[in-house]
Structure 1
Amino acid sequence: MRRDQTSPGRRTALKLALGFGAATAVHLIAADQAATPVRPAGTRATAAAGPPAKPRGRPSAYRLQPMTGSAPPRFRPAAPPVRTRPFEALPALGHSMVLSFDDGPDPRYTPDILATLRAHRVRAMFFVCGEMADDNRDLLREMAADGHVVGNHTWTHPLVPKLSRPGIRDELGRTSEVIERTLGAPPLWYRAPYGAWNRDSFEIGAELGMEPMAWTVDTLDWTTPGTGTVVRRVLDGAAPGVVVLSHDAGGNRSQSVAALRRYLPALLDDGYRITVPHRD
């Protein structure tokens, strides 16, 4: 498994991601009423569930109208139009934000993140690497049971533009297959490692029935800058429609775990609705 911290290409890749500009906000319409995550019967919760936050503004959420249609048979030719840039933010409909976590699941950190999200009755997006998901399918099931969105983050976390089309198909296809075998349905979302996308990745992702999701606020938690710094980056970047990027694997993520415990209740106190996108 790779370590984000060791990649000199990450800085370049992040520049590529930023170069896309604002996210394409086409066909984003209201309404996901995220219900309280519920654990399967007979399982033990690792954190006590607190009361749901009461947003100060009008509650809102959104539903994405996919450009690739419903999940098609594997590897069929991508029907136009195929996206040429990922979603990086969601439209400013009320006080809604999305939290996302990459590189897991990791049994050292993912359970604590799930417990914190459960305690505050919110949902998030988890972009998992196939090699990690294959070894930790119980955590994949826990994510789904709590109502989180499980997305595809490739198998080995490579720099996608350096791969051939068959290489990209293998990285995305194998990961989608392990998710489908574990959860009963393939993922509808994917995220390119390092935010490095190319045309092949958009087309192959569309062939697999997935939409590309990037981010608005990068916590840079992979640099282990300190819990307080991660908290400050999230709170400073908070705004309607923001997608926050953090990590639950790929290195020591104890700061990411501790930071979530601090910034999540602060966001809820500020009236933000923490939810996940749903596709029509």
Structure 2
Amino acid sequence: MLSGQVPMTRDDTPRSPLSPFAVPPLAVEGLAVGHDGRRVLERADFQIEAGRFTVLLGPNGSGKSTLLAAMARLLPPMAGSVLLDGADIARLPTRAVSRKLGLLPQQPLVPEGLSVFDLVSRGRFPHQGLFRQWSAADEAAVGRAMAVTGVADLAARGVDSLSGGQRQRVWIAMVLAQETPVILLDEPTTFLDMRHQIDILAMLATLVRDHGRTIVCVLHDLNLALQHADRFLFLKGGGIRHRLDHPAACTAAIVGDVFDMPVAGLSHPETGLPVFVPISAPTSMPVACR
């Protein structure tokens, strides 16, 4: 088990429903978004509940990363809006957004020669200003972020000398140092082996459960998502196809509908949560690959 990893178990204590007067930290209302004038996603309406680990799932091209980019204000809506703490994110000052919402995109680039401490420290930029420079509070925030992600002993190392799993932890530490209540991550386990994928997802689940963060994440591995997250949005056909508030609500019918292939549902031997396996090869798969 890697540093910072927690056992693959879940806290299934029932959660109290949000008050009807509570403002969700992030909400999407009538959102249409796409690229080059082509709509990838439309009619999206949902709320991200505070203190939950929400995963966006769906086939390639369904708009998962596009939706996340719109939620992070990287992509302007073609219609509708994204609300951050009840306010239209498009109308908020950049610094105000960056103090409430952190983003880890796919495959971020590291400037050559940067140390782990220097990279994590960049998460404090939203808190800097003309009259506020580096402070003891910034130092403490960076220290906490590195401790939580298990990279404190790597502080002096060059980021480019790290393994893929270590580097991903450092990026997450940078986002944590930003100290935002909401964190968006786009495929944080891409190119990692199974052990590091589980390690990263277990750490994200811990950030939600023990540190009060709200996380929205794009993932491709359905079975890993079901063992670590607690809310799921399935995208297909230009919209939100299914919304699940617990992994146990996921069924073979839902998975088959989203991914257009028959699957069988099993139970994980440790967590008891569903696991899905294909029961036949997709008809579009080349014969040589079946």
Instruction: Looking at secondary structure, tell me which structure has more strand per residue.
Output: 2
Q: Same fold (TM over 0.5)?
A: no
Higher relative contact order (CA 8 A, sep 6+): 1
The higher radius of gyration belongs to 2
